[in-house]
A and B are shown apart, each in its own frame.
Chain A
Amino acid sequence: MKRLATLLLAAVALTVPALAQSIGYSTSQPLMLPHDTFFGMAAGVATNSKGNVFVYTRNGEPTVTLAGSRTFAHGGSSLYEFAPDGKFIRQIGKQVYGFLAAQQVRVDKNDNIWVVDRYSSMVMKFAPDGRQIMLLGRKPESVDVPSSPDTGRGTPPGSGAQSDLFQSPTDVAWDADGNIFVADGIGNARVAKFTRDGVFVKSWGSRGTGDNQFKSAHGIAVDSAGNVYVADRGNNRIQVFDNNGNFKSSITSGGDPEAICITPGAHQYLFSSNSNPANDLDHGGEIYKLELNGTVVGKFGQAGKGLRDFGSVNAIDCRNANSLYVAEAGNWRVTKVDLH
């Protein structure tokens, strides 16, 4: 009896923490593309206030053309809009100079659509009707063949030098005043802050493992108090800064974050995806739900190709804290996740 109790206790000790942390969930893939159109690498997903869904995906070939003395790159990624029920509405920006390699799409509180492109190293703001109204960064004029990962412009990648030019940026977020924060990104390892009108304020961070350093700044979110959360992919942490870029703390309970999202509303939650690398389906892949101080509320999902699995999540939309959209770079799909 005593032995059985010990065994039971041991079993409880083994399973209860995991059980306590698991969040029940169901998945679906409601987005319907037109005939003969497919997602490629699903990089970004975001919803607007009306529930429309935007997806930015690498689903074509960047075309490199030979000029007199240089090579130029065009095209390769698409931005699609869907109705709340998943019906296809339209493609936005088929002929946009900065659409090369999709990295992220986000929608601000005024329903403007912000597109982050890794290869053109630009952040592009579109009005809800699709008009292009503001640009941050500048696409490199020509590309080297073969290309280097640090294909942007400006200061040496990861050096920490101040610049409003990006090197493979990954994400964009805003505070309540509309100030713009760009995660910049994979080539650089820093955050750049702009006013709501796009005037460059400052940038902070360099490549490294210390406070205020990043392996890669792979995602960004801002809470209602204006604190800035940066997914430090490769360093297994989310770094938290105040609105002016002063380091506050590191959250290490969200795995190695590739995508993060902060919910709106009075009680805000932080979602963090411990995304599996494309070549590893046997570890990680789960998404954590955290309090803003890093306390774990729970987690759900795992790496894999099944309908309830996640393949290298690159974006989370959490406008509705209990009904998320995730963009799976590895599974070339956008999944709706309802939490129970």
Chain B
Amino acid sequence: MGRSLVKAYLAATAAVSLLLSTVSAFPQAKATADNAPDLAYEAVPNFFQAPAGDYMGELQGVATNSKGNTFAFFRGPQTRLWQFGPDGKFQKEIGKGFYGFQFAHSVRVDRHDNIWTVDEGTNVVTKFNPTGTKVLMVIGHRPSQADGPYATPKGPNPPDEKYTLCRPTDVAWDQQDNIFISDGYCNNRVMKYSPEGKFLAQNGGSAVGKGENEYNLPHGLQVDHQGNVYVADRGNNRYVVLDNNLKWKTAYTQYGTAWSDCISEGPHQYLFMSNSNPNGNGPGTWARTGQIYKAELDGTPIGKFGHAGKIAPGWQVVHMMDCRNPNQIVAGEIESWRMQKFVLKGSK
């Protein structure tokens, strides 16, 4: 790059970052799959019971295991992981004070009921055993506290690095237990690791982009039974589909801002997508966005349900859904610090 080009680039970057820092970083996009029918649903009020006198914070991650337990990973005064019973009652806290918990982003449960957390403060993905009593694996590493206190980095993203994650967002597995990680807020890529945690493949890089094999904040991901990977490319308002080797297949663009996705279990799998409406958007956006969409894996819309709202059963930014049972959705909300359960009744 010539000097003038560098200058122009810097100026453009500064202008963009000023814009990003002063306005909402990612303006909410309206889904265009408007003709999708409304699905009848019921909210189960106050299903999940926190311990008396205690509170959940920003609900980043929700997941269930095969036994019907629900896990909530949230940002309270500390980042905390709670387990609830099938009846919705609080059972226990997992990993209290754990070195890998700093700023929650995702919790998922694999097909063996191991509990995985993704933390975008420590930049670590952790695999716990099903009872949450042992750490089985960590991916990424936490920078040393000896580096001292410093503010949010303003500089360039770190280079593409196989084993260093930069504010990772989500984790998923295929049927062979290969590990897929969306990474994240300061990289813009999808990683594939072997079941033993060895690097296998990468799609995307550190730079932001909007073309094929590029991302602007990969914010969540899921893998279907065939091994295809579905990435919530939040800043690009699309869900990207990759094959098992992270080769680009297609993208679904009609579902608004891609906050998070979920693929149900069972012989016929469905894809759920959250188009949530965060604070910072202007008056009038609330009536237009906030739904959860249900689709076939090929992207064909089936229906939508729910609405934005600060009072339950509305929701204020569904950051993650659990859809193990496609008719029972658990939604975790960032901005209302809630975890709600919804029963889908099918088409109206």
Which of A's residues lie within 8 Å of B, judged by CB? Answer: 64-72, 74-75, 93-97, 130, 132-139, 141-142, 144-145, 153-156, 162-165, 197-202
Q: Which of B78, B123, B335 contacts A68 (CB 8 A)?
A: B123
- Chain A residue contacts of B182, Cβ below 8 A: none
- Chain B residue contacts of A142, Cβ below 8 A: 151-152
Secondary structure of the A side of the interface? loop
- Chain B residue contacts of A130, Cβ below 8 A: 53
- Chain B residue contacts of A133, Cβ below 8 A: 311-312
A74 touching B310 in the complex, CB below 8 Å, given contacts A64-B149, A145-B149: no
Which of B's residues lie within 8 Å of A, judged by CB? Answer: 22-24, 53-55, 57-58, 75-78, 102-103, 121-123, 142-143, 145, 147-153, 166-167, 186, 278-283, 286, 309-312, 314, 316, 334-337
Contact A198 B121 (CB under 8 A): no
Contact B151 A145 (CB under 8 A): yes
Closest to B309 in A: A197
8 closest residue pairs by CB, A with B: A198-B310, A97-B57, A67-B121, A144-B151, A74-B77, A68-B123, A67-B102, A68-B143
Contact A135 B310 (CB under 8 A): yes
Ordered by A's residue number, 12 sampled pairs between the chains whose C-beta atoms are within 8 Å are A64-B149, A67-B121, A72-B121, A74-B78, A75-B77, A95-B53, A95-B54, A96-B77, A135-B336, A138-B334, A153-B280, A164-B281
Contact A68 B336 (CB under 8 A): no
A201 and B291 alpha carbons, distance in the complex (Å):
21
Q: Which of A70, A138, A200 contacts B152 (CB 8 A)?
A: A70
A164 and B54 alpha carbons, distance in the complex (Å):
27
Least Cβ distance of A151 to chain B in Å?
12
- Chain A residue contacts of B282, Cβ below 8 A: 162, 200
Contact A94 B53 (CB under 8 A): yes
Contact B337 A135 (CB under 8 A): yes
Contact B335 A135 (CB under 8 A): yes
A164 touching B280 in the complex, CB below 8 Å, given contacts A135-B336, A156-B22: yes
Q: Which of A141, A144, A156 contacts B103 (CB 8 A)?
A: A141
A72 and B75 alpha carbons, distance in the complex (Å):
11
Closest to B102 in A: A67
- Chain A residue contacts of B24, Cβ below 8 A: 154
- Chain B residue contacts of A163, Cβ below 8 A: 280
Residue with the greatest number of chain A CB neighbours at <10 A, chosen from B55, B75, B122, B286? B55
Contact B78 A67 (CB under 8 A): no
Least Cβ distance of A75 to chain B in Å?
5
A69 touching B310 in the complex, CB below 8 Å, given contacts A95-B77, A97-B337: no
Contact B280 A165 (CB under 8 A): yes
Count of chain A to chain B residue pairs whose CB atoms are closer than 8 Å in the complex = 118
- Chain B residue contacts of A74, Cβ below 8 A: 77-78
- Chain B residue contacts of A202, Cβ below 8 A: 283
Contact B280 A154 (CB under 8 A): yes
Contact B75 A97 (CB under 8 A): yes
- Chain A residue contacts of B54, Cβ below 8 A: 94-95
A165 touching B279 in the complex, CB below 8 Å, given contacts A69-B143, A95-B77, A198-B311: yes
Closest to B165 in A: A68
A53 and B145 alpha carbons, distance in the complex (Å):
42
A179 and B57 alpha carbons, distance in the complex (Å):
25
Contact B76 A95 (CB under 8 A): yes
A133 and B186 alpha carbons, distance in the complex (Å):
33
A198 touching B309 in the complex, CB below 8 Å, given contacts A69-B152, A164-B279: yes
- Chain B residue contacts of A68, Cβ below 8 A: 102, 121-123, 142-143, 167
Contact A132 B55 (CB under 8 A): yes
Closest to B18 in A: A156
A198 and B337 alpha carbons, distance in the complex (Å):
15
Closest to A131 in B: B46
Contact A97 B311 (CB under 8 A): no
A241 and B29 alpha carbons, distance in the complex (Å):
34
Contact A69 B316 (CB under 8 A): no
Contact A197 B76 (CB under 8 A): no
A77 and B76 alpha carbons, distance in the complex (Å):
14
